[in-house]
């Protein structure tokens, strides 16, 4: 099994309250663990990438911090920008 080391130096969350940042981060980490554990992510085949631009992620206003964290994780892992039924932004 390949070993994946992912270091996120900076995560910019525009429009997110500072008090909600930890919840977004927790959801992001949990979803990345899940996505990378099942394999098939383009991120696994990228090799030693120095930077990744995840692009924009748009969700309904009432989506919540967990949904945002999951959507960002999916974008980082190379999946869709947001869960089905949500409007996604372009990279």
Domain that holds residue 62: 1-91
* 8 A C-beta contact, residue 89 and residue 62: no
Token pair recorded at residue 39: 């394999």
* 8 A C-beta contact, residue 76 and residue 32: yes
Which pTM value belongs to this model?
0.70
Low-confidence ranges of the chain (pLDDT < 70): 1-2, 40, 44-51, 79-91
Containing 71, the helix (H) or strand (E) segment is: helix 65-77
Give the chain's domain count: 1
């Amino acid at each position: 099994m390949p070993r994946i080391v992912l270091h996120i130096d900076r995560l910019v969350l525009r429009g997110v309250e500072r008090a909600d940042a930890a919840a977004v981060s927790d959801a992001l980490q949990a979803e990345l663990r899940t996505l990378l554990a099942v394999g098939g992510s383009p991120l696994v085949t990228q090799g030693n990438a120095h930077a990744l631009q995840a692009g924009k992620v748009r969700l309904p206003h009432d989506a919540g911090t967990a949904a945002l964290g999951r959507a960002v994780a999916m974008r980082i892992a190379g999946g869709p920008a947001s869960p089905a039924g949500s409007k996604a932004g372009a990279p």
